[in-house]
Amino acid sequence: MRSRTAQEPALAVVPEAEPSSPSTTSAIAGADRAIVQRAVKGDARAFQLLYQQHQGRVRATLYSLCDAEGLDDLVQEVFLRVWRGLPRFRGSSSFATWLYRITWNVASDRRRELARYRSRHQVARVTTDSEQADRAIEQAIDPATRDAAPLNQLHYQDLVQRSLDILGFEARDVLVLCDLEDVPQKEAAEILGIPVGTVKSRLFYARTQIRQFLQQQGVEL
């Protein structure tokens, strides 16, 4: 029987993997595999390494798939599921694919939960232009973001966020995975449990929708 100890480890923070070349990618994949194998055997320090390497990406994906509300809870839920599922992880797919699948499952659960809540309380999610403007202003006056990004950058970020909001969940999932997270279409199909052809058609549809929206907002691409 596998013994798993969850004692708090003390490790240096490992920067997130940013593959730049094929050799770097394969080296990172190899190191990642070794860490995953250690974590599968119950090594808590290896699990913490995995958390530090992937939590940024998981967080960004969840933010793109859902929204900012309860984001910390969602990230925690993802890594709790990872911890629970690691003993059953056989490595038939890559760890990143498996992690994205868990992330997508958590996001889907969250959406279902929100949809149930809204239907029970009959609250329609109507995002008006004024609300969007308010959000942009809030971001603009937020000291954390004000110094980091100029106003036009915030404007474009707001446009991208709104363009994601107009997409249906299916198209949004594919666009976030393939275009924002740069996941290959085959892996996206594996994560979402749909054929590759469906991924491609949804991606085409999502890009068309977003392009039309951006053009309406005066952005020419």
- Name the site residues for other proteins (rule: CB under 8 A): 4-8, 44, 47-48, 51, 55, 59-60, 62-64, 68, 71-72, 75-76, 79-80, 83-84, 144-145, 153, 156-161, 175, 179-180, 196-197, 200-201, 203-204, 207, 210-211, 214, 219, 221
Q: Rounded CA gap, 171 and 158, in Å?
A: 19
Residue 84 or 116 with smaller CB distance to other proteins = 84
Residue 216 C-beta: closest distance to other proteins, Å:
14
Residue 30 or 73 with smaller CB distance to other proteins = 73
Residue 120 or 147 with smaller CB distance to other proteins = 147
Residue 29 C-beta: closest distance to other proteins, Å:
22
Residue 30 C-beta: closest distance to other proteins, Å:
26
Q: Tokens 């980091």, residue?
A: 148
Q: Nearest-5° angle of CA 55, CA 56, CA 61?
A: 95
The DSSP string of 25-83 is: HHHHHHHHHHHHHHHHTT-HHHHHHHHHHHHHHHHHHHHHHS-STTHHHHHHHHHHHHH
Residue 180 C-beta: closest distance to other proteins, Å:
6
Of 153, 190, 194, nearest to 171 (Cα)? Answer: 194
Residue 175 or 191 with smaller CB distance to other proteins = 175
Residue 59 or 101 with smaller CB distance to other proteins = 59
Q: What count of other Cβ atoms lies within 10 Å of the Cβ of residue 185?
A: 15
Single-letter amino acid code for the residue at 10: A
DSSP letter for 87, please. Answer: G
Residue 20 C-beta: closest distance to other proteins, Å:
15
